[in-house]
Amino acid sequence: MTGIYECVGRYANTPYTVNNTKIRIWCLEELCYYICENAELIDDSFVGVRLIDWLKDECGLADLSSRLRIIRRQSIKTENLVEEILKEADYVTEEEFREIRRVIRSGRSLDPSQRSLVLADHFLKGGSFSRALEIYEGLSLSIELDDTRKAYVFHNMGVIYARLFYFKEAAMYFEKAYELGGALDSAFCRMAAKRMELSDSEYLKLVTALPEGDETPAAVERAMESVKREYADSPGFKKEKDALALRNTGRTQEYDEAAARMIADEMDVYRHFMPE
């Protein structure tokens, strides 16, 4: 799926919004890209009347729309409908489509909780933390999940809370994940969250109470030192250093302006993760 594509149809005035992911699509090529990148999320409701009407009315693809209607009457298999869409744009090779077909078919065997887990993981990967968290919270109460999958859910909830700087909540969910699954990664993340949550004296008290030979705190310190070194080479650190130089040389107004820009940038990033 590389190279230059000749666009088919027209750009929509009104986008198509995918039901489960809420992603907006503006043309046939974007639809093809979505299918290829999210084949595991394609279920039997994906190519419905609403999408078929949108392709005709918004993208000017009346012939494709007609063929899709015929296929829907002849077969309910989603991969047949998807194949027709991808062929219209000449978007994938036959080998690539075989893989997409395989993923769609394997997704059909998932139970509702597994499908919800795939969707939550999709939101987490894309940085839509509020949507991911809502699904994970529901799954954490599900009686259909075994301990291994529930531990996975709790761990990812910890990841989200840590990314949002709620370190106390993050530590709690990492601890739940470790208790259920026993994964060392969850134990490490819990200690890292505690390192960020607690004062130095509180953290030292926590560490000294650990069983002798527990190497988790040392691993956390090594990771933090590695992150500090990485940050020291980042553009963000250079901006911070330049701003401090302005303050230290008495250029107060310029410092205030630079600091305001940095704060605004960070706020924009944070807002992306929060509920819409």
- The pLDDT assigned to 183 comes to 95
Closest CA to 178 of 161, 157, 199, 163: 157
Residue with tokens 């505690």, as numbered in its chain: 194
Q: Which of 6-15, 36-45, 135-144, 149-158 shows the lowest mean pLDDT across its residues?
A: 6-15
Residue at which a domain ends, from 108, 132, 152: 108
DSSP state of 165: T
Domain's final residue, options 57, 81, 108: 108
Given 54, 89, 108, the domain boundary residue is 108
Mean pLDDT, residues 205-229? 93
Bridge partners (DSSP) listed for residue 24: 17
Do 216 and 259 share a structural domain?
A: no
Task: Give the pLDDT of residue 208.
Answer: 93
Q: Rounded to whole angstroms, how far apart are CA atoms 133 and 116?
A: 12
> pLDDT tens digit string along 231-266?
888 887 888 888 888 888 888 888 888 888 888 887
Tell whether the model's pLDDT for residue 59 goes beyond 70. yes
pLDDT score recorded for residue 181:
94
Q: What is the DSSP string of 112-144?
A: HHHHHHHHHHHHHHHT-HHHHHHHHHHHHT-TT
CB 100 within 8 A of CB 78: no
pLDDT in tens, 71-92: 998 877 899 999 999 999 989 9
| pLDDT recorded at residue 6 | 57
Question: Is the domain of 260 the same as that of 216?
Answer: no
- pLDDT band (50, 70, 90) for residue 209: very high
Same domain, 85 and 134: no
**pLDDT value at 16 more than 50:** yes
d(CA 117, CA 5): 33
Q: Are 171 and 204 in contact (CB under 8 A)?
A: no
Q: What is the DSSP letter of 14?
A: S
% of the chain at pLDDT higher than 90? 66
Residue 202 pLDDT > 90, yes or no? yes
Exposure string (b/e) for 215-249, b if CB count within 10 Å is 16 or more? Answer: ebbeebeeeeeeeeeeeeeeeeeeeeeebeebeee
Give the pLDDT score at 274: 58
Q: How confident is the model over 145-170, as a mean pLDDT?
A: 95
- 117, 225: one domain: yes
Inter-residue contact 119 to 29 (CB < 8 Å): no
Task: List, in sequence order, the alpha helices (H) in 23-166.
Answer: 28-37, 49-57, 62-74, 78-88, 94-108, 112-126, 129-140, 147-163
Same domain, 175 and 222: yes
- Tokens representing 204? 């030292």
CA-to-CA separations, 141 to 56, 134, 151, 230, in angstroms, rounded: 42, 12, 12, 38
- In-domain check, residue 26: yes
Digit-coded pLDDT (tens) for 82-121:
999 999 998 999 999 999 999 999 888 888 899 999 999 9
The reported pLDDT for the residue numbered 243 is 82
Nearest Cα to 72, choosing from 81, 64, 62, 63? Answer: 81
What's the token pair of residue 100?
A: 């997409």
Q: Is residue 6 part of a domain?
A: no
Q: Confidence band (pLDDT; 50, 70, 90) for 3?
A: low
Query: How many domains does the chain fold into?
Result: 3
Task: Specify the pLDDT at position 263.
Answer: 85
Q: Is residue 152 part of a domain?
A: yes
As a whole-number percent, the residues of the chain with pLDDT over 70 amount to 95
Residues 90 and 21 reside in one and the same domain: yes
Question: Does the pLDDT value for residue 145 go beyond 60?
Answer: yes
184 versus 143: the higher-pLDDT residue is: 184
Check whether residue 160 and residue 93 sit in a common domain: no
Q: Is residue 5 part of a domain?
A: no
- Domain with residue 189: its CATH number is 1.25.40.10
Q: What angle do CA 92, 93, 99 make, to 5 degrees?
A: 85
Q: Which residue has the higher pLDDT, 232 or 46?
A: 46
Those residues whose C-beta lies under 8 Å from the C-beta of residue 253, and which sit 6 or more positions away, are none
Contact 156, 121 (CB under 8 A): yes
At 60, which amino acid appears?
G
Average per-residue pLDDT in the chain? Answer: 90
Q: Is residue 3 part of a domain?
A: no
Angle made by CA atoms 115, 99, 17, in degrees to the nearest 5: 50
Tell me the pTM.
0.78
The residue range of the domain holding 129 is: 112-231
pLDDT for the residue 27: 95
Give residue 273's pLDDT.
60
